[in-house]
Every structure is written in structure tokens, then in C-alpha cells.
Amino acid sequence: MLDALRCSQKRVLIIDPCAECLALLPRLKAEGWEAETSSMDGARERSYDVGVVRFSAQHLQCLPALIKLIRQSSAEWIAVLGPELLNSQGVSDFVGEWFFDFHSLPIDVSRIHFSLGRAFGMAHLRRLGVANAPAQDNDLLVGSSSSIKALRKLLAKLAPTDSPVLICGQSGTGKELVARTLHRQSRRASGAFVAINCGAISEHLIQSELFGHEKGAFTGAHQRKIGRIESAHGGTLFLDEIGDLPLEMQANLLRFIQEMNIERVGSSKPISVDVRVLAATHVDLEEAIRQGRFREDLYYRLNVLQVHTTPLRERKLDIPLFADHFSKLYASEIGKRPRRFSEAAINVMMDHSWPGNVRELANRVRRGQVLAEGRQIEPIDIGLMSEKPAEVRTGTLNDYLLTAERQALNDVLTRYSKNMSHAARALGVSRPTFYRLLHKHQILLSDKKGNGFDSCLQNMPDTGRARIDAQVSLQENAKYQA
């Protein structure tokens, strides 16, 4: 990589140069830089690796144009400030947000050479990242994991057909993005994509929303309304959360899919509609059928082709790509430069279980873009530092006593393995109590003939075993009474 940097042509463009900037040009060219100057308007037509802006009071009047120039370029930017602007709060905040580095007048030549070299290296790395980024479908299906690659391949097969597709997956896994991709890659791409959330519309209004109504069909119907299905003619109808559709409407929807005809509310005239139906659900429709909440015939009409979306926790490889994508997306919302994520932030994101899937990740990145104070987004900015550690399972007091008792037996047997009397004496108990404890914890010993401890007890006369039991019982009673 270092060799590639040395061999690359280094290009710097100085915007609105001052006299000191112009005097710097020969020295830059002597150092191997392809150095040029330009006005801010002319800079959009140039190609360069590092941009230098001689920041002046006039630029304060056109900050949006300067931000647009910085955003549209792939260069890193350096500001040159006069003493009159150095202590201006607004200027310092702006430079800190949008520029890689800054220099004050008079220019320190050695320092600006060093700064330009670092900026060039960063710009080169940025271009490499863009060049090596995986192919994405208009930034919708982000990722490079095996599951997203398989999904792209499957959608390429399903898109050209007109068959209904059922998209299954957890909430927040991108089911609507799958539907939009299918539409965009289909022959209906020039037609409308009409989406309706079946669970977000009142049960009393959903028939009118889907099929439309005629003027006077019911109270408040002051004019004819075209329904969602009819408005999707020639395009794609996406029924999100189809499992929440009321049973009565399921029958009407089934009839439409079978005949491709609808009737507006208040009319008996059939209207032919040409649409492709895509449906999505996060519930198990087969279980809903068994519970009588979903029609089996409608299920088989919708489930001609099926797509499953993968939870984010099973696509850990895609998390950094998603984070970078959303950082760029939301940075434009708040007028800031997209922030990168620190190594610690990437690590906590990789360890998080993401119950809310991609939607949760998008919200956390949006929060981080707003709250981050440095040049990088840290774990605290995305709210992942406060996660509680896994709860440690605790036992009862008796569990701890048994553990300690067994550990004491093991320790004393390690030291007095040949003499049980000494072992018992070290623990401060009688020998019968000691044998009883060994039996209680199933610690096996051998007698001189090699027989196990159970065998030793079995060979003991009944009176001996009884005496041991009696002594142990007396000692244990005395212990608990004390």
C-alpha cells in the first residue's frame, strides 16, 4: 500500500487562494504535487485528492455551498485561517466538523507539507474502501454476508415473474426493502409501488382503503375515492403485515387475487386491475391457520413464492456496513459530516444481540450521529455501554455449605490420604463422622485390600454401621442446636 501511495499522482486544489497560498505553489510542485487553484464555483469540475480552502469572512455567507462542495468530493479538506477568524466560535465549530486539519497564517511550510501528506493518505484509503465495497442494490440491500448474497440471487430470479411472493421474517429485517427490490427489478418497475400496512388501518376503513368507494357509499363519502389496489394498476401492491388483516377482508382479498377484479364500496360494477401482489408477515401464518385467524386458501394464494429475511444477529458481517450506510444517511439530515465508528463501538455492536434487527441499528446510529462529540462515534453515543452483564446464577445457603464441605474433604484427603484418623482429626470431627461425610459426598476410598468405600461399609458389622449413624446424628444435632 505504501508503494501505491508513493507512485500515485498527488493532486491538491487550493480554493480562493491568498498571496501566501500562491507563494506555496512552486514548493508544492517541487515536492511532486500537482497543485492548482480555483474559485469555489469552479472546483466542482476539478479532480483532486486534497482540497485547501483559504477561509475568509465571505465564506461565512455561503456555508451551505461549501458543505455541498465538501460532500460531493472524495477529497480530504484543509482550512487556512487568518488571525481574525481563529477565535470565532462559529468558524472553529465549522472547521472542526468538516475539515481534516487547519493551518493559521502565516503558513508553516514544513507543517503544511506533513498535513497534506496525511490528508492524501486518508483520501486514498477512502477511495479504496469505495472501490472494494460490495455491489449494492441502490443502497437498499446492504451487506456482504452469505445470506444477503443468497437473497440478492433469489430476488433476481423472482423479480421477472408476476407470481405472488410471501416475504417472511422478524420485524425490522427489511421485508419492505425486499418488496421494493422485487418491484424495481421487475418489468413493472415503471409502474406504481403501493404499500399498505394491514395492521395500521382501522377495521372499519380498510375495505374502503383497499377497494375504494363511490360518492355517497356511506356517511362522509362526499366524493369517489380510488382504492390502493386500483391505484397500483400496472405496478405492484405490497400488503405489509398481512397476518393482521381481518377475516372478513381476507375473503374479499382472496376473491380479488383469483379474479383480478374489484368492486368499489357502493358499486356493483367490476373493475379489472392488473397488479402483482407481494405480502409480508412477521407471524407464523401456518400457526394462525390452525388457530382459525387466517384463511388457508388465501395463504396458498399468497405463498406461491416465498422469501425469508435473516435476523441481524445472524448477519454479523454486515453490521459495520449497515452502520456506515446509516451514518452517511443521517449525517445529511443534521448537516454534519458522517462520523466513523471507533473500534470499541464496532466491538459492542458486533456483540449486541439486536432484538430490533436493522431498524434498531438504524435508530442507534442516528442517535450516535447526533450525540457524538468527537470525530468518531463511541459506544456510549449509541447507548450500548449501559447493557447489564448476564445475571450470575446464585445458589441457596445450603448449596454453598455443601460445596465448602466437599472442598474441605478433598483438601484433607490430599494431605492425609494414608491415615483417615489424622484426616478426621484435622477437620475436627470423629472418624465415624468423617466416613459418613465421605459417603454423603460420594467420595470413594479404598481399603488396604483395594475395596471401595461402599464395600468397606458393607463389610462392617450391623452394630458398627448403626454406631456410626448414631454418632453422626448426635453430632449433627449438637451442631445445629449450637
The candidate with the shortest Cα–Cα distance to 31, out of 115, 107, 124, is 115
Going along the chain from its start, the domains and CATH numbers come out as 2-131 (3.40.50.2300), 146-310 (3.40.50.300), 313-382 (1.10.8.60), 397-481 (no CATH)
Q: For 87-97, what is the mean pLDDT? A: 76
Instruction: Give the cell for residue 460.
Output: 462392617
Please report, for residues 82, 158, 182, 374, the alpha-carbon distance to residue 155 in angstroms, rounded to integers and kept in the order given: 56, 5, 6, 40
Higher pLDDT: 76 or 168? It is: 168
Mention every residue, 6+ apart, whose C-beta is less than 8 A from residue 296: 289
Q: What is the pTM of this model?
A: 0.59
First to last CA, the chain: 78
Q: Over 90: is that where the pLDDT of 158 sits?
A: yes
What radius of gyration do the chain's Cα atoms show?
A: 37
Q: Check pLDDT > 90 for residue 406.
A: no
pLDDT of amino acid 42: 81
Question: Confidence class of residue 243 from pLDDT cuts 50, 70 and 90?
Answer: very high
263 or 385, higher pLDDT: 263
Residues 177-204: what's their mean pLDDT? 90
pLDDT higher than 90, residue 453 = no
- The C-alpha cell 368499489 sits at 264
The DSSP result for 92-123, as a single string, is HHHHHHH-SEEEESSP-HHHHHHHHHHHHHHH
Joined grid coordinates for residue 367: 442517535
Closest CA to 337 of 67, 10, 120: 67
Tell me what percent of the residues of the chain surpass a pLDDT of 70: 84
For residue 65, the SS3 value is: helix
- Is 164 in contact with 305 (CB distance < 8 Å)? yes
- Pairwise CA distance, residues 258 & 227, whole Å: 18
Reading the block at residue 117, the C-alpha cell is 501528506
Confidence band for 332, pLDDT divided at 50, 70 and 90: confident
Reported confidence tier of residue 285, pLDDT bands at 50, 70, 90: very high
Cell of 415: 494431605
For residue 109, pLDDT beyond 70: yes
pLDDT of residue 467: 44
Q: What is the per-residue pLDDT across 164-182, written as a single tens digit (0 to 9) for each?
A: 999 999 999 999 999 999 9
Rounded to 5°, the CA angle 2-102-129 comes to 35
Model confidence at 139: pLDDT above 70: no
Q: What is the mean pLDDT of the chain?
A: 80
User: pLDDT tens digit string along 307-325?
Assistant: 999 999 998 889 988 898 8
pLDDT top residue among 145 and 365: 365
Confidence of residue 257 (pLDDT cuts 50, 70, 90): very high
C-beta of residue 95 within 8 angstroms of C-beta of residue 59:
no
Contacts of 158 by beta carbon, 8 Å cutoff, 6+ apart: 165, 182, 305, 307
Of 411 and 137, the structure prediction assigns the larger pLDDT to 411
More confident residue, 70 or 5: 70
- Residue 50: helix, strand or coil by DSSP? strand
